[in-house]
Amino acid sequence: MSIEIEVVNGAQFRPQAETLFRQMEPHVTKDDESEPGWARVTWADPDLRILIETDDGELACHAGIFFRTVIWNGQKVHIGGVGQIATHPDCRRRGYASIALNAAVHTMRDHDTAQFALLFCEPHNFEFYSSRGWQPFGGTVFAEQPEGKVRFEAMAPFVLDLKRRAPALGTLDLGGLPW
């Protein structure tokens, strides 16, 4: 089976991504207190998206790419981000998320001045990212939410070197919604 990998505009291809997200595991609502912390988070929209389609034209995998000037230990730094990585349940363990993540990293390296990359993930995905070169960020992250700036602890931050070595510690203020 062949696949097609595209880098597309985030806003323009939002409907396609949302169709895939609706096909994922049962949906959670922001009001359900029993759901994990991330379910109640207001997330940023990606600037770009990686889409992987199978040869029947179905969207099998998605990764969002984000660019943001953040404040790290009081200094402005332009960084890249990856989020909303999702593979259709019928298409898992074929390497699609690995390909999408790799394409996202190449896109950040090639098309932007992002100094390092940041993503957030749950414990069951730590191994997936750490085996692909991402390192835990042990510092503190702040992000905007509708109620104002909050310490962001809903998911764990991981970083990857791009143009410079990614920090392992310090205070990182995303200056906007998390991804």
Q: Which residues bind to ligand COA, rule: CB under 6 A?
A: 61, 85-87, 92-98, 121, 125, 127-128, 131
Question: Between residues 29 and 75, which has the closer beta carbon with respect to ligand COA?
Answer: 29
Burial of 70 from C-beta contacts in 10 A (0-12 / 13-18 / 19+): buried
Burial of 7 from C-beta contacts in 10 A (0-12 / 13-18 / 19+): middle
Question: Between residues 42 and 73, which has the closer beta carbon with respect to ligand COA?
Answer: 42
Eight-state DSSP code of residue 153: -
**Least separation, in Å, of the C-beta of 75 and ligand COA?**
27
What is d(CA 69, CA 77) in angstroms, rounded to the nearest whole number? Answer: 5
> Side-chain half-sphere of 69: how many Cα atoms within 13 Å?
4
- CB 72 within 8 Å of CB 159: no
Question: Between residues 90 and 148, which has the closer beta carbon with respect to ligand COA?
Answer: 90
Question: Between residues 18 and 113, which has the closer beta carbon with respect to ligand COA?
Answer: 18
**Least separation, in Å, of the C-beta of 137 and ligand COA?**
14
Question: Between residues 31 and 127, which has the closer beta carbon with respect to ligand COA?
Answer: 127
Cβ neighbours, 10 Å, residue 81? 24
Dihedrals phi, psi of 54, to nearest 5 degrees: -80, 175
What is d(CA 137, CA 154) in angstroms, rounded to the nearest whole number? Answer: 14
